[in-house]
Amino acid sequence: MRMVFRWFGEGNDTVSLEQIRQIPGVEGIVWALHDCLAGEEWPMDRIMNVRDQALRAGLHTEVVESVNVHEDIKLGLPTRDLYIEKYVRTIEKLAQVGVKVICYNFMPVFDWVRTDLHKRMDDGSTALFYEKVKTTDTDPSELVKSIMNNSDLSMPGWEPERLAHLTALFESYRDVTEEDLWRNLGYFLDAIIPVAERCGIQMAIHPDDPPWPIFGLPRIMTSQANLRRFLQLHDSPANGITLCSGSLGANPSNDIIAMIHEFAERIPFTHIRNVRVYDNGDFIETSHRAQDGTVDITGIVKAYHNVNFAGYCRPDHGRHIWDEECRPGYGLYDRALGIMYLWGAWDTLERTKQQSEKRNLS
C-alpha cells in the first residue's frame, strides 16, 4: 500500500508540501490543476511546475485527482468529441511526467454533495454532513448558495463558473436516464482507455458521493453490481476504480469488503474514510476509527492486506479539529491522524504475516 495525500496546490491549500512530507509513510501528493475547468487541456508547463515543486519537497506526483469530465461528454452531445480529444491530450501529457493513475468521476452536474460543511459534533470538532431531505425537497441553487456562503474557497465540483449555469445544466439533464449515462460513459471509455493503455496509465473512476440520485439527477457509480457493470463496459486493466469507502459507505447496504475482494485487480487507488449513517439516511463524516462510524475501517484494511494491495491509498476527508482553519474536509490534522490509524492496522497485519512466515520456514 502506497500512501499519498491530497494537495490542492500553492495558494489553494492551507497545508504545505513540507507538512505533508512529515506525515509518516506518505510518499506522494494527489494533485490536479484545480483552476483548469472541465474540458480544458492542461498546459504542460503548469503540469511540470507541480511535478518539480513536489519533487523538491521529496514527494512524487504519480496520482492525479481529478481530470474532470466535461458535461457534454456525460450528456452525450455532439460536441463531446472535441472535449474527449482534449482529455486524451491531457492523459498523454500526464504520462510524460510519470503519472500512473488518474482519478475522475462521472456524476452529472455536481461532484460530491453535502448540506452542511461545518456540522458541530459533541466533542467540539466540525465535519461534513449530509441531510437527505435537503437534496430531495430543496431547490439546488438555494442549497448551493447557502453552502457557499460559509466558504470562501472554490471546491471541486462547486466551481463558481459551473454553478452560474446551474439552471441550464439541470435543464439539459431533464431527459437523461441512467441508461443514457451508461451509454455515454461507455463511449467515453472506448475513446480514452486505449490511450491510457498505450501510456501506461490506469484510469480510476470515483464512485458517486452520495451513491444515489440527487435532485432528480441520475447517478450510476453507486453499488457493487454497477461497479461490476462498469468494469465490463470496457474490460481492460487500464479501466479501474478509485474505491472510496466513505462515498460507498453512505449506503449501508454496500459491502465494501466484498467489493475489495471482487475488484482487487482493478483498484489502483483507494480512499479510506469513515462515515456515520443515521436511520433516516443522513450521514456525517467521522474520524477514521472504526468505532466512530458505520464503515468497518479495520475490516477494509484487512481485506486490502489479504489481497496484497499494492496500489495507492489516501485518507479521504477529515474532520476540522484543534481549531484548524482549512478547506472543508481537507485539513492536515485529522487526515494525518487517519493515516496513522490506517498504518497501525496495516503494519500489525504485515508484521503478523512476516512472523508467521518466519515460523513456517524454521
Alpha carbons 196 and 189: distance in angstroms, whole number: 10
Residue (83 or 112) nearer to ligand CS2, CB = 112
Backbone phi, psi, residue 320, to 5°: -100, 110
- Interaction between residue 8 and ligand CS2 (CB under 6 A): no
Q: Output 234 or 271, the one with its CB closest to Mn ion.
A: 271
How many CA atoms, within 13 angstroms, populate the side-chain half-sphere of residue 146?
13
Reading the block at residue 274, the C-alpha cell is 469513515
Q: Which residue is nearest to ligand CS2 (CB)?
A: 66
Task: Tell me the three state secondary structure of residue 11.
Answer: coil
* Residue 112 near which of Mn ion, ligand CS2, none (CB within 5-8 Å, type-dependent): ligand CS2
Nearer to Mn ion, 51 or 206 (CB): 206
Residue in 144, 189, 244, 260 binding Mn ion, rule: CB under 5 A = 244
Q: What is the DSSP string of 223-270?
A: SHHHHHHHHHHT-STTEEEEEEHHHHHTSTT--HHHHHHHHGGG-SEE
**Type and span of the H or E element at 203:** strand 202-205
Distance CA 158, CA 110 (A): 7
- The DSSP code for 239 is E
Active site residue 206: yes
Size of the residue set binding ligand CS2 (CB under 6 A): 14
Q: Within 218-247, which residues bind ligand CS2 (CB under 6 A)?
A: 244
Nearer Cβ to Mn ion (72/245): 245
Stretch that binds Mn ion, among 1-9, 28-36, 83-91, 239-247 (CB under 5 A): 239-247
Judged by beta carbon distances under 5 to 8 A according to partner kind, the member of ligand CS2, Mn ion, none in contact with residue 104 is ligand CS2
Shortest distance, CB of residue 362 to ligand CS2, whole angstroms?
45
Q: How far is it, in rounded angstroms, from Cα 134 to Cα 214?
A: 10
Chain residues that interact with Mn ion, rule: CB under 5 A: 244, 271, 316
